Chains A and B, each alone.
Chain A
Amino acid sequence: MPYAKGWSLFEDLMKIRVLIVDDHALVREGLRSLLESNPDIEVIAEADSGVAAIAYAGELLPDVVVMDISMPGMNGIDAIREITKDHPALPIIALSMHSERRLVIEALEAGARGYLFKECAFADLARSILTVAGKNIGSGPKMTGIILSDRLTPQFHALHLALSARELQVLRLIAAGESAKEIAFRLELSVKTIESDRHIIMRQLQLHSVAELTRYAIREGLASVN
Protein backbone atom coordinates (compact mmCIF):
# COMPACT_ATOMS: atom_id res chain seq x y z
CA MET A 1 0.00 0.00 0.00
CA PRO A 2 1.80 3.08 -1.21
CA TYR A 3 0.09 5.48 1.17
CA ALA A 4 1.16 3.35 4.10
CA LYS A 5 4.75 3.87 3.12
CA GLY A 6 4.15 7.59 2.76
CA TRP A 7 2.59 7.66 6.17
CA SER A 8 5.53 5.89 7.77
CA LEU A 9 7.88 8.34 6.07
CA PHE A 10 5.89 11.14 7.61
CA GLU A 11 6.14 9.42 10.97
CA ASP A 12 9.88 9.11 10.55
CA LEU A 13 10.09 12.84 9.94
CA MET A 14 8.26 13.44 13.19
CA LYS A 15 10.62 11.28 15.20
CA ILE A 16 13.01 12.85 17.68
CA ARG A 17 16.49 12.38 16.23
CA VAL A 18 18.92 11.47 19.01
CA LEU A 19 22.72 11.43 19.15
CA ILE A 20 24.17 9.09 21.81
CA VAL A 21 27.60 9.92 23.27
CA ASP A 22 29.38 7.39 25.51
CA ASP A 23 32.88 5.95 25.40
CA HIS A 24 31.65 2.43 26.18
CA ALA A 25 30.31 0.67 23.10
CA LEU A 26 28.18 -1.75 25.12
CA VAL A 27 26.49 1.09 26.97
CA ARG A 28 25.92 2.96 23.69
CA GLU A 29 24.52 -0.08 21.92
CA GLY A 30 22.33 -0.88 24.91
CA LEU A 31 20.92 2.65 24.92
CA ARG A 32 20.36 2.50 21.18
CA SER A 33 18.53 -0.80 21.51
CA LEU A 34 16.29 0.63 24.26
CA LEU A 35 15.65 3.93 22.48
CA GLU A 36 14.75 2.17 19.26
CA SER A 37 11.93 0.45 21.08
CA ASN A 38 10.29 3.86 21.45
CA PRO A 39 8.28 4.78 18.34
CA ASP A 40 8.86 8.53 18.83
CA ILE A 41 12.63 8.28 18.95
CA GLU A 42 15.24 7.57 16.31
CA VAL A 43 18.95 7.16 17.10
CA ILE A 44 20.77 8.86 14.23
CA ALA A 45 24.34 8.35 15.42
CA GLU A 46 26.61 7.22 18.21
CA ALA A 47 29.77 9.08 19.21
CA ASP A 48 32.48 7.55 21.40
CA SER A 49 34.16 10.81 22.46
CA GLY A 50 33.51 14.47 23.12
CA VAL A 51 35.33 15.47 19.95
CA ALA A 52 33.24 13.13 17.79
CA ALA A 53 30.09 14.42 19.52
CA ILE A 54 30.89 18.02 18.56
CA ALA A 55 31.50 17.00 14.95
CA TYR A 56 28.28 14.93 14.70
CA ALA A 57 26.20 17.62 16.39
CA GLY A 58 27.35 20.06 13.68
CA GLU A 59 26.97 17.69 10.72
CA LEU A 60 23.81 15.79 11.62
CA LEU A 61 21.83 18.43 13.54
CA PRO A 62 20.16 16.01 16.00
CA ASP A 63 17.11 17.08 18.02
CA VAL A 64 18.55 15.82 21.32
CA VAL A 65 22.00 14.75 22.52
CA VAL A 66 22.40 12.17 25.31
CA MET A 67 25.88 12.74 26.75
CA ASP A 68 27.98 10.65 29.13
CA ILE A 69 29.98 12.88 31.48
CA SER A 70 33.17 10.93 32.16
CA MET A 71 35.03 10.09 28.98
CA PRO A 72 38.74 9.99 28.30
CA GLY A 73 40.17 12.87 26.29
CA MET A 74 37.58 15.63 26.20
CA ASN A 75 35.06 15.05 28.97
CA GLY A 76 31.31 15.37 28.55
CA ILE A 77 31.05 18.72 30.31
CA ASP A 78 33.51 20.38 27.93
CA ALA A 79 31.71 18.82 24.98
CA ILE A 80 28.37 20.14 26.31
CA ARG A 81 29.88 23.62 26.58
CA GLU A 82 31.21 23.50 23.00
CA ILE A 83 28.01 22.15 21.49
CA THR A 84 25.89 24.69 23.38
CA LYS A 85 28.11 27.50 22.12
CA ASP A 86 27.49 26.51 18.48
CA HIS A 87 23.91 25.23 18.84
CA PRO A 88 22.29 27.03 21.78
CA ALA A 89 18.85 25.58 20.98
CA LEU A 90 20.00 21.94 20.88
CA PRO A 91 18.94 20.24 24.12
CA ILE A 92 21.55 18.03 25.78
CA ILE A 93 20.83 15.51 28.53
CA ALA A 94 23.78 14.48 30.66
CA LEU A 95 23.72 10.78 31.60
CA SER A 96 26.23 9.94 34.26
CA MET A 97 27.22 7.37 36.85
CA HIS A 98 28.37 10.28 39.00
CA SER A 99 25.95 11.93 41.35
CA GLU A 100 28.37 14.51 42.71
CA ARG A 101 26.67 17.85 43.06
CA ARG A 102 29.71 19.57 41.61
CA LEU A 103 29.41 17.64 38.33
CA VAL A 104 25.67 18.14 38.09
CA ILE A 105 26.08 21.89 38.58
CA GLU A 106 28.97 22.05 36.11
CA ALA A 107 27.01 20.14 33.49
CA LEU A 108 23.94 22.34 33.90
CA GLU A 109 26.08 25.47 33.86
CA ALA A 110 27.78 24.24 30.69
CA GLY A 111 24.33 24.17 29.11
CA ALA A 112 22.87 20.69 29.75
CA ARG A 113 19.09 20.76 29.95
CA GLY A 114 18.88 17.70 32.11
CA TYR A 115 21.03 15.43 34.23
CA LEU A 116 20.21 11.78 34.75
CA PHE A 117 22.04 9.17 36.79
CA LYS A 118 22.71 5.78 35.26
CA GLU A 119 20.73 4.30 38.18
CA CYS A 120 17.65 5.70 36.47
CA ALA A 121 15.31 3.51 34.48
CA PHE A 122 15.14 3.70 30.71
CA ALA A 123 11.62 5.08 30.98
CA ASP A 124 13.07 8.14 32.75
CA LEU A 125 15.50 8.75 29.89
CA ALA A 126 12.79 8.37 27.25
CA ARG A 127 10.54 10.76 29.14
CA SER A 128 13.39 13.24 29.53
CA ILE A 129 14.12 13.13 25.81
CA LEU A 130 10.46 13.78 25.00
CA THR A 131 10.40 16.60 27.56
CA VAL A 132 13.47 18.47 26.34
CA ALA A 133 12.36 17.96 22.72
CA GLY A 134 9.07 19.63 23.66
CA LYS A 135 7.01 16.51 22.89
CA ASN A 136 5.97 15.54 26.36
CA ILE A 137 2.34 16.49 26.71
CA GLY A 138 0.95 16.14 30.18
CA SER A 139 3.00 15.79 33.31
CA GLY A 140 3.21 12.00 33.42
CA PRO A 141 4.50 10.03 36.38
CA LYS A 142 7.16 11.53 38.58
CA MET A 143 10.67 11.19 37.23
CA THR A 144 13.33 9.82 39.53
CA GLY A 145 16.96 10.78 39.39
CA ILE A 146 16.49 13.61 36.94
CA ILE A 147 17.23 17.21 37.55
CA LEU A 148 16.16 19.54 34.84
CA SER A 149 17.90 22.89 35.00
CA ASP A 150 14.74 24.86 35.63
CA ARG A 151 14.03 22.65 38.61
CA LEU A 152 17.40 23.22 40.21
CA THR A 153 16.75 24.03 43.83
CA PRO A 154 19.07 25.79 46.29
CA GLN A 155 19.47 22.62 48.33
CA PHE A 156 21.25 21.13 45.37
CA HIS A 157 24.12 23.52 45.78
CA ALA A 158 26.98 22.20 47.83
CA LEU A 159 25.91 21.72 51.42
CA HIS A 160 29.36 22.55 52.75
CA LEU A 161 28.98 26.15 51.58
CA ALA A 162 27.00 26.69 54.78
CA LEU A 163 29.92 25.61 56.98
CA SER A 164 32.04 28.18 58.81
CA ALA A 165 35.69 28.61 57.84
CA ARG A 166 36.79 26.61 60.86
CA GLU A 167 34.29 23.81 60.27
CA LEU A 168 35.54 23.58 56.71
CA GLN A 169 39.11 23.36 57.97
CA VAL A 170 38.10 20.62 60.42
CA LEU A 171 36.40 18.73 57.58
CA ARG A 172 39.57 18.91 55.48
CA LEU A 173 41.67 17.66 58.39
CA ILE A 174 39.29 14.79 59.14
CA ALA A 175 39.46 13.76 55.49
CA ALA A 176 43.24 14.01 55.68
CA GLY A 177 43.10 11.29 58.32
CA GLU A 178 43.68 13.32 61.47
CA SER A 179 42.04 12.39 64.75
CA ALA A 180 40.04 14.83 66.86
CA LYS A 181 42.97 15.07 69.22
CA GLU A 182 45.44 15.90 66.45
CA ILE A 183 43.10 18.49 64.98
CA ALA A 184 42.57 20.05 68.41
CA PHE A 185 46.31 20.29 68.91
CA ARG A 186 46.86 21.79 65.48
CA LEU A 187 44.10 24.40 65.83
CA GLU A 188 44.86 25.05 69.50
CA LEU A 189 41.34 24.19 70.53
CA SER A 190 39.91 21.65 72.92
CA VAL A 191 39.11 18.11 71.76
CA LYS A 192 35.54 18.75 72.86
CA THR A 193 35.26 21.73 70.50
CA ILE A 194 36.52 19.67 67.57
CA GLU A 195 34.11 16.85 68.38
CA SER A 196 31.28 19.33 68.48
CA ASP A 197 32.46 20.77 65.14
CA ARG A 198 32.43 17.29 63.66
CA HIS A 199 28.92 16.78 64.92
CA ILE A 200 27.78 20.05 63.28
CA ILE A 201 29.53 19.16 60.01
CA MET A 202 27.87 15.74 59.87
CA ARG A 203 24.46 17.26 60.54
CA GLN A 204 24.97 19.97 57.93
CA LEU A 205 26.17 17.50 55.28
CA GLN A 206 23.60 14.87 56.33
CA LEU A 207 26.33 12.26 56.73
CA HIS A 208 26.90 9.84 59.55
CA SER A 209 30.46 8.56 59.47
CA VAL A 210 34.07 9.61 58.95
CA ALA A 211 34.21 7.43 55.83
CA GLU A 212 31.27 9.33 54.32
CA LEU A 213 32.83 12.68 55.29
CA THR A 214 36.05 11.61 53.57
CA ARG A 215 34.28 10.61 50.37
CA TYR A 216 32.28 13.84 50.41
CA ALA A 217 35.45 15.92 50.82
CA ILE A 218 37.12 14.13 47.89
CA ARG A 219 34.03 14.51 45.72
CA GLU A 220 33.81 18.21 46.41
CA GLY A 221 37.52 18.77 45.81
CA LEU A 222 38.26 19.50 49.47
CA ALA A 223 40.63 16.55 49.85
CA SER A 224 42.72 14.36 47.60
CA VAL A 225 42.19 10.63 47.20
CA ASN A 226 45.90 9.96 47.68
Chain B
Amino acid sequence: MGIRILLAEDHKIVRQGLRSLLAKQPDLEIVAEAENGSEAIALATQLGVDLVLMDLTLPDMSGIDATRRIVAELPEVRVLALTMHSDKRFITETLKAGAKGYLVKESATLELVEAIRSVAGGGSYLSRSLQGFDLDGHAKLEPAKPASAPCLISPREREVLQKIAEGKGTKEIAFTFGVSIKTIETQRSQIKKKLNLHSIAELTKYAIREGLVSL
Protein backbone atom coordinates (compact mmCIF):
# COMPACT_ATOMS: atom_id res chain seq x y z
CA MET B 1 0.00 0.00 0.00
CA GLY B 2 1.18 3.47 -0.86
CA ILE B 3 1.99 6.34 1.45
CA ARG B 4 -1.05 8.58 1.98
CA ILE B 5 0.02 12.20 2.09
CA LEU B 6 -1.67 15.41 3.19
CA LEU B 7 -0.10 18.46 1.58
CA ALA B 8 -0.31 21.66 3.68
CA GLU B 9 0.94 24.66 1.73
CA ASP B 10 -0.71 28.05 1.32
CA HIS B 11 0.50 28.92 -2.19
CA LYS B 12 -1.76 27.19 -4.66
CA ILE B 13 0.66 27.03 -7.57
CA VAL B 14 3.38 25.57 -5.32
CA ARG B 15 0.86 23.01 -4.06
CA GLN B 16 -0.14 22.06 -7.58
CA GLY B 17 3.52 21.78 -8.56
CA LEU B 18 4.31 19.47 -5.64
CA ARG B 19 1.27 17.35 -6.42
CA SER B 20 2.36 17.07 -10.03
CA LEU B 21 5.89 16.02 -8.98
CA LEU B 22 4.72 13.45 -6.45
CA ALA B 23 2.11 12.03 -8.83
CA LYS B 24 5.00 10.52 -10.77
CA GLN B 25 5.86 8.26 -7.81
CA PRO B 26 3.66 5.17 -7.79
CA ASP B 27 4.03 4.60 -4.05
CA LEU B 28 3.00 8.13 -3.05
CA GLU B 29 -0.54 9.42 -3.01
CA ILE B 30 -1.63 12.95 -2.13
CA VAL B 31 -5.04 12.38 -0.60
CA ALA B 32 -5.78 15.99 0.35
CA GLU B 33 -4.47 19.55 0.29
CA ALA B 34 -4.77 22.11 3.08
CA GLU B 35 -4.04 25.80 2.73
CA ASN B 36 -3.78 26.67 6.40
CA GLY B 37 -2.90 25.10 9.73
CA SER B 38 -6.37 24.43 11.07
CA GLU B 39 -7.45 22.87 7.80
CA ALA B 40 -4.39 20.60 8.01
CA ILE B 41 -5.40 19.42 11.49
CA ALA B 42 -9.01 18.82 10.45
CA LEU B 43 -8.06 16.88 7.31
CA ALA B 44 -5.37 14.84 9.05
CA THR B 45 -7.95 13.85 11.66
CA GLN B 46 -10.69 13.00 9.16
CA LEU B 47 -8.70 11.20 6.53
CA GLY B 48 -6.25 9.07 8.46
CA VAL B 49 -3.17 10.03 6.45
CA ASP B 50 0.29 8.52 6.91
CA LEU B 51 2.25 11.71 6.48
CA VAL B 52 1.70 15.45 6.47
CA LEU B 53 3.98 17.48 4.24
CA MET B 54 3.83 20.75 6.14
CA ASP B 55 4.83 24.23 5.05
CA LEU B 56 5.82 26.20 8.16
CA THR B 57 4.53 29.65 7.29
CA LEU B 58 0.81 29.20 6.98
CA PRO B 59 -1.95 31.72 7.55
CA ASP B 60 -4.42 31.20 10.40
CA MET B 61 -2.23 28.77 12.35
CA SER B 62 1.47 28.35 11.72
CA GLY B 63 2.87 25.06 10.50
CA ILE B 64 4.82 24.62 13.73
CA ASP B 65 1.69 24.95 15.84
CA ALA B 66 -0.29 22.69 13.53
CA THR B 67 2.52 20.13 13.75
CA ARG B 68 2.40 20.22 17.54
CA ARG B 69 -1.35 19.60 17.53
CA ILE B 70 -1.25 16.83 14.96
CA VAL B 71 1.59 15.01 16.73
CA ALA B 72 -0.20 15.29 20.07
CA GLU B 73 -3.59 14.15 18.80
CA LEU B 74 -2.58 11.71 16.08
CA PRO B 75 0.62 10.01 17.16
CA GLU B 76 0.53 7.63 14.18
CA VAL B 77 0.75 10.54 11.71
CA ARG B 78 4.27 11.56 10.70
CA VAL B 79 5.06 15.19 9.88
CA LEU B 80 7.69 16.27 7.39
CA ALA B 81 8.30 20.03 7.39
CA LEU B 82 8.92 21.63 4.02
CA THR B 83 10.05 25.22 4.23
CA MET B 84 12.07 28.08 2.84
CA HIS B 85 13.51 28.78 6.27
CA SER B 86 16.91 27.35 7.04
CA ASP B 87 17.74 29.16 10.26
CA LYS B 88 18.51 27.06 13.27
CA ARG B 89 15.76 28.46 15.44
CA PHE B 90 13.10 27.34 12.98
CA ILE B 91 14.60 23.88 12.73
CA THR B 92 14.86 23.48 16.48
CA GLU B 93 11.28 24.68 17.05
CA THR B 94 9.91 22.43 14.34
CA LEU B 95 11.64 19.31 15.60
CA LYS B 96 10.61 20.17 19.15
CA ALA B 97 7.02 20.42 17.93
CA GLY B 98 7.32 16.79 16.85
CA ALA B 99 8.14 16.88 13.13
CA LYS B 100 10.24 13.89 12.07
CA GLY B 101 11.81 15.56 9.08
CA TYR B 102 12.89 19.00 7.92
CA LEU B 103 13.40 19.77 4.27
CA VAL B 104 14.22 23.11 2.67
CA LYS B 105 12.59 24.10 -0.61
CA GLU B 106 16.00 24.34 -2.25
CA SER B 107 16.00 20.54 -2.26
CA ALA B 108 15.40 18.61 -5.46
CA THR B 109 12.41 16.34 -6.06
CA LEU B 110 14.51 13.22 -5.55
CA GLU B 111 15.43 14.37 -2.08
CA LEU B 112 11.79 15.14 -1.27
CA VAL B 113 10.76 11.64 -2.30
CA GLU B 114 13.59 10.13 -0.27
CA ALA B 115 12.60 12.22 2.77
CA ILE B 116 8.93 11.21 2.48
CA ARG B 117 9.81 7.51 2.29
CA SER B 118 12.22 7.78 5.18
CA VAL B 119 9.86 9.69 7.50
CA ALA B 120 6.82 7.59 6.57
CA GLY B 121 8.87 4.46 7.18
CA GLY B 122 9.52 5.44 10.79
CA GLY B 123 12.82 7.22 10.28
CA SER B 124 13.75 10.86 10.35
CA TYR B 125 15.19 13.21 7.76
CA LEU B 126 17.12 16.45 7.75
CA SER B 127 17.84 18.31 4.50
CA ARG B 128 21.20 17.38 3.03
CA SER B 129 22.16 21.04 2.91
CA LEU B 130 21.62 21.24 6.68
CA GLN B 131 23.47 18.10 7.65
CA GLY B 132 26.37 18.51 9.98
CA PHE B 133 24.17 20.95 11.80
CA ASP B 134 24.30 20.15 15.50
CA LEU B 135 20.91 20.66 17.07
CA ASP B 136 21.91 19.84 20.63
CA GLY B 137 25.08 21.85 20.37
CA HIS B 138 23.04 24.76 19.17
CA ALA B 139 20.69 24.51 22.10
CA LYS B 140 23.61 24.54 24.52
CA LEU B 141 25.54 27.24 22.76
CA GLU B 142 22.77 29.75 22.56
CA PRO B 143 20.55 29.93 25.59
CA ALA B 144 17.23 31.67 25.04
CA LYS B 145 17.75 35.19 23.84
CA PRO B 146 14.87 37.37 24.96
CA ALA B 147 14.38 38.81 21.47
CA SER B 148 13.95 35.43 19.83
CA ALA B 149 12.66 32.91 22.27
CA PRO B 150 9.32 31.53 21.18
CA CYS B 151 9.45 29.04 24.01
CA LEU B 152 8.93 31.95 26.39
CA ILE B 153 5.26 31.75 25.61
CA SER B 154 3.12 28.63 25.62
CA PRO B 155 1.87 27.00 22.41
CA ARG B 156 -1.64 28.35 23.04
CA GLU B 157 -0.24 31.82 23.63
CA ARG B 158 1.61 31.59 20.31
CA GLU B 159 -1.66 30.77 18.58
CA VAL B 160 -3.35 33.74 20.24
CA LEU B 161 -0.39 35.94 19.27
CA GLN B 162 -0.73 34.86 15.65
CA LYS B 163 -4.44 35.77 15.65
CA ILE B 164 -3.68 39.17 17.19
CA ALA B 165 -1.02 39.87 14.59
CA GLU B 166 -3.40 38.85 11.82
CA GLY B 167 -5.64 41.66 13.06
CA LYS B 168 -8.35 39.55 14.67
CA GLY B 169 -10.31 41.15 17.50
CA THR B 170 -10.50 39.75 21.04
CA LYS B 171 -14.09 38.64 20.53
CA GLU B 172 -13.27 36.82 17.32
CA ILE B 173 -10.26 35.09 18.87
CA ALA B 174 -12.32 34.02 21.89
CA PHE B 175 -14.95 32.61 19.56
CA THR B 176 -12.36 30.73 17.48
CA PHE B 177 -10.88 29.02 20.52
CA GLY B 178 -14.23 28.57 22.24
CA VAL B 179 -13.19 30.45 25.37
CA SER B 180 -14.31 33.68 27.04
CA ILE B 181 -13.19 37.15 26.00
CA LYS B 182 -11.69 37.51 29.45
CA THR B 183 -9.47 34.47 28.92
CA ILE B 184 -8.10 35.97 25.71
CA GLU B 185 -7.54 39.32 27.41
CA THR B 186 -5.62 37.59 30.17
CA GLN B 187 -3.57 35.64 27.66
CA ARG B 188 -2.81 38.80 25.72
CA SER B 189 -1.47 40.55 28.79
CA GLN B 190 0.48 37.41 29.70
CA ILE B 191 2.06 37.42 26.25
CA LYS B 192 2.94 41.10 26.53
CA LYS B 193 4.44 40.57 29.96
CA LYS B 194 6.47 37.51 28.96
CA LEU B 195 7.82 39.12 25.81
CA ASN B 196 8.22 42.50 27.45
CA LEU B 197 6.23 44.17 24.68
CA HIS B 198 3.74 46.90 25.29
CA SER B 199 1.55 47.41 22.27
CA ILE B 200 -0.31 45.57 19.51
CA ALA B 201 2.14 47.07 17.00
CA GLU B 202 5.10 45.57 18.88
CA LEU B 203 3.34 42.19 19.19
CA THR B 204 2.67 42.26 15.46
CA LYS B 205 6.32 42.97 14.62
CA TYR B 206 7.43 40.20 16.95
CA ALA B 207 5.03 37.79 15.22
CA ILE B 208 6.40 38.83 11.81
CA ARG B 209 9.98 38.24 12.96
CA GLU B 210 8.97 34.84 14.33
CA GLY B 211 7.37 33.88 11.04
CA LEU B 212 3.90 33.56 12.59
CA VAL B 213 2.44 36.04 10.11
CA SER B 214 3.69 37.33 6.84
CA LEU B 215 3.59 40.92 5.69
Contacts and interface: CB of A to CB of B under 8 A. Distances in A.
Interface size of A as a range:
35 or more
B12 interface: yes
A29 B13 contact: no
B208 to A, nearest CB: 5
A211 B16 contact: no
A37 B107 CA distance: 22
Given A176-B201, A178-B199, A211-B166, A29 B208 contact: no
Contacts of A210: 167, 199-201, 204
A177 B104 CA distance: 34
B169 interface: yes
A200 to B, nearest CB: 18
A95 interface: yes
Interface string B21-38: 100100000000000000
B17 A214 contact: no
Interface stretch (A18-26, A73-81, A82-90, A147-155): A18-26
A175 B213 CA distance: 16
A26 B12 contact: no
Interface stretch (A106-114, A117-125, A185-193): A117-125
Interface in B81-119: 82, 84, 104-109, 112
B160 to A, nearest CB: 12
B82 to A, nearest CB: 7
B189 interface: no
Contact of B13 (A31, A211, A214, A219): A31
Nearest to A116: B13
Interface string A183-225: 0000000000000000000000001111111110011000101
Contacts of A213: 201
B21 A30 contact: yes
B18 A26 contact: yes
Given A119-B12, A125-B13, A23 B106 contact: yes
Contact of A34 (B20, B84, B199, B204): B20
Contact of A177 (B168, B201, B209): B201
A26 B10 contact: no
B215 A31 contact: no
B135 to A, nearest CB: 23
A76 to B, nearest CB: 15
A214 B204 contact: yes
Contacts of A179: 199
B193 interface: no
Interface string A135-174: 0000000000000000000000000000000000000001
A52 B166 CA distance: 37
Nearest to B112: A26
B163 to A, nearest CB: 9
Interface of A: 23-27, 29-31, 33-34, 37, 95, 97-98, 100, 116-122, 124-125, 174-179, 207-215, 218-219, 223, 225-226
28 contacts: A26-B106, A26-B109, A26-B112, A27-B17, A29-B108, A30-B16, A30-B17, A31-B17, A33-B24, A34-B17, A37-B20, A97-B214, A98-B215, A119-B13, A120-B12, A174-B201, A175-B201, A177-B197, A177-B198, A177-B199, A210-B200, A210-B204, A211-B164, A211-B201, A214-B204, A215-B204, A218-B205, A223-B201
Interface of B: 10-14, 16-18, 20-21, 24, 82, 84, 104-109, 112, 164-169, 197-205, 208-209, 213-215
